[in-house]
Structure 1
């Protein structure tokens, strides 16, 4: 589909693993709790993170649709995380471990490299929105902690809208909130289904942040492997491509 000629006025971002380094923070928090629990000594952090991520992907949509509470999902996640290494662990022990992990996670949070500088550079000239599959209060607090709140014009969450990306409705709410049209908007995110295909479905140009080296399913989609260097990333986001998209390493 040919691109419209209108200027880019609006940049939408995913938050977790796009502006906020969830994966790095979660790994560091898991390493911290493993160091303090004998049953987890010697277990590779990548093994723990793989199980943690799979459980999060399974349970998070249930939290967002109200089928299970956030705290219940967190405790269930850690009970199942412990099971292969400590089968006799009680629900109370899993809850305690979940609370310990959450404490470490809060203290170890960090932005994706280059994210803050990118928002600061875009703010004077572009409208900035966050479109995220998460809870509103959690993402508001996260943006404050990362020093990004004043740089964001609108935060749109799946909890607020009632649907998860890639459902078009969450993108439509974002566009309406910012007073923007799809042709003048770019969506930056790390999740191919939620961020790339979701944006394409409503006519927004996606930019895929691929920090893990995964294969790009659609070669015409612009790909970033980092949010640095700033000048090159700004060019990719704010300038319409005139040729098939290339990866920016």
Structure 2
């Protein structure tokens, strides 16, 4: 049925949560943030809450990429009374230089890519930043599986908006009825793909319930892909 498969990168293949957690831990020690926070978890909880809010604002076009990055690293410091923009900027620069060198993938990612690459054309479709995504793929050894990488940075439109899905189809010369989107984000990947009539495979590793519709496929492990496609 399918010829083209579009796959999200962060937390679908590349283990963003684990790689980010490791990087934040390294930066916390390097910058002696125990001076300001009760614990690493205290810092990380503050960061994550505000980061999620800012990504929604960025996706809706309410803030720029620069504002997103400035605010998400400054917020935890300001929350504990440290208004040091220079410190936040040094921390941010260091973080972004380290995180794309991390290589942890989700379980079975390479096995699945080995399998899929023998049968389908594979493409990355991601909301991530261009300066990071290619390095992440190189560091984790998965670049060679993909014909093309389509990023929201390319057209300044993010998943789930239909423009980026239509751009992905046209730029890869893929037909809608022969294409499938695989991703872990219900809103960005699955709702977005369904919005243009593309089949979807929801990688529900978070155990999300009460879905607004039944996706074409739903998996809890990438290994399940092998028995479906």
**TM-score w.r.t. structure 2 length?**
0.85
* In 2: Cα distance, 1:66 partner to 1:47 partner: 23
Q: CA RMSD in A?
A: 2.4
Q: 1:111-156, CA deviations, whole angstroms, 9 ceiling, x for partnerless residues?
A: 2222122112111210111111133342222222221221101211
Asked if 1 retains the 8 angstrom alpha-carbon contact of 2:101 and 2:135, the reply is no
Kindly indicate which of the two structures has a greater share of residues assigned to helix: 2
Q: Secondary structure at the match of 2:23?
A: helix
Corresponding residue pairs, total: 224
Conserved 8 A contact 2:47-2:76: no
Q: For structure 1, list consecutive stretches of 5 or more residues without a partner in the other structure.
A: 1-6, 239-249
Shift of 1:104: 3.9
Shift, 1:59, TM fit: 5.6
The residue correspondences of 1:97-246 to structure 2 (distance < 5 A) are 97-218=91-212, 220-221=214-215, 222-228=217-223, 232-236=224-228, 238=229
Q: Does residue 77 in structure 1 map to residue 72 in structure 2?
A: yes
Quote the residue 2:27 is aligned against: 33
**Cross-structure match for 2:7:** 13
Rounded to whole Å, the distance in 2 between the matches of 1:54 and 1:160 is 22
Q: TM-score, normalised by structure 1?
A: 0.79
1:233 and 1:92, CA in 2 relative to 1: closer, same or farther beyond 3 A? same
